[in-house]
Amino acid sequence: MKIIVTSTASTRQEPSLQAFLSECRWDFVPRQGRSIHKLRTLYQADAVVVWEPSGPVLYVEDEKFFFHPSMAKNRLGLYRKKGIQDLMVRVCEIQPGDRILDCTLGLGADAIVAAYFAKTDVVGLESAIPLARVVKWGMKMYSTPFPWLEEAIKRICVIPRDHQSYLAECPGDSFDIVYFDPMFQHPLLKSQPLNPLRKLADHRPLTEDSIEQACRVARKKVVLKERSDSLEFERLGFQKIVRGSNKLIAYGTIDVNPPGSRG
């Protein structure tokens, strides 16, 4: 995928843009008042990143993609205002200090919620490299009047990598919880906020090898989010399934070291 980077008139000289360019090694082209469409055609690019004051915005086909924590903010807001516990947090049994590896970062909503409760850094892996970079820098540059949200976002360490090779390199027991939320093979129509992500995302199904490695790397639990009716739970060896109240999604868990089995 050929990606070019441009700026707005006000962000042309920003040091953050220079740092982004030297990390990504995508070509910079001056904006000179030209439209995204014109730049894309002129430079024969598949996508254009515009460096906005609030972070990178990726334009691909007719969609625009940028980091925003809206889902995480809603979920944490429900907990903070009404004490409603998040189902993912309940299923993962996240405790303060837990080391969490999110193997499918996406927009990072689950990782932010996890970081809020774990009160420590969360590692997020994303194999779709343009998506990983936009989310990484979007998180870096995000600011909000809510310190609890900003703290959780800044705890995410985004690594643009495939989880299969990353897991293979991790020592045993190096995380407490390893979490997977892969792209559904048959998407739910209602998940509108994920739509721009769909174009950029890695749609490959999880491999049995990844789950085997995850069980070696996790000290407590491996968790998989999927459609309630998915056959992936069975294929990948998840026994305990917890369904969401909307009955559409479910979480499967593998307890790696169930109580009583620890030596």
Ligand X SMILES: C[S@@+](CC[C@H](N)C(=O)[O-])C[C@H]1O[C@@H](n2cnc3c(N)ncnc32)[C@H](O)[C@@H]1O
Binding to ligand X by CB under 6 A, coded x per residue (else -) over 94-113, reads: ---------xx-xxxxx---
- Tokens, residue 27: 């070509």
Q: Which of 45, 94, 131, 215 binds ligand X (CB under 6 A)?
A: 131
- Residue 25 gets the label, from left (phi > 0), alpha (psi -120 to 50) or beta, of left
* Residue listed under structure tokens 């909000």: 144
Q: Does 126 contact ligand X by CB under 6 A?
A: yes
Return the residues of window 26-85 that contact ligand X according to CB under 6 A: none
Q: How far is CA 12 from CA 53, 83, 147, 148, in A?
A: 10, 44, 29, 31
Shortest distance (Å) from residue 226 CB to ligand X: 10
On whether the CB atoms of residues 255 and 221 are closer than 8 A, the answer is: yes
Residue type, 159: I
On whether the CB atoms of residues 114 and 92 are closer than 8 A, the answer is: yes
Q: Does 125 contact ligand X by CB under 6 A?
A: yes
* Interface size with ligand X, residues (CB under 6 A): 22
The total number of residues shown for the chain amounts to 263
Shortest distance (Å) from residue 248 CB to ligand X: 14
Q: Which of 93, 202, 212, 255 binds ligand X (CB under 6 A)?
A: 202
Binding to ligand X by CB under 6 A, coded x per residue (else -) over 2-21, reads: --------------------
Shortest distance (Å) from residue 198 CB to ligand X: 9
Residue environment code for 89-121, b if the CB has 16+ CB neighbours within 10 A, otherwise e: bebbebeeebbbbbbbbbbbbbbbbbbbbbeee
What's the CA gap between 203 and 66, in Å, rounded? 19
Shortest distance (Å) from residue 117 CB to ligand X: 14
Binding to ligand X by CB under 6 A, coded x per residue (else -) over 163-192, reads: xx----------------xxx---------
Q: Which of 201, 241, 242, 248 binds ligand X (CB under 6 A)?
A: 201
Cβ proximity to ligand X: between 45 and 105 the closer is: 105
Q: Are strands 249-255 and 218-227 parallel, antiparallel or unpaired?
A: antiparallel
What's the CA gap between 108 and 102, in Å, rounded? 9
Q: Does 93 contact ligand X by CB under 6 A?
A: no
Q: Does 162 contact ligand X by CB under 6 A?
A: yes
Residue of 85, 83, 154 lying closest to 119 (CA atoms): 154
Tell me the window of 42-50, 77-85, 145-153, 197-205 that interacts with ligand X (CB under 6 A): 197-205
Q: How far is CA 147 from CA 37, 69, 229, in A?
A: 37, 13, 38
Q: Does 124 contact ligand X by CB under 6 A?
A: no
The closest residue (CB) to ligand X is 106
Tell me the window of 24-32, 89-97, 199-207, 246-254 that interacts with ligand X (CB under 6 A): 199-207
CA atoms within 13 A on the CB side of 102: 30
Q: Give me the residues that bind ligand X (CB under 6 A), please.
A: 103-104, 106-110, 125-128, 131, 162-164, 181-183, 197, 201-202, 204
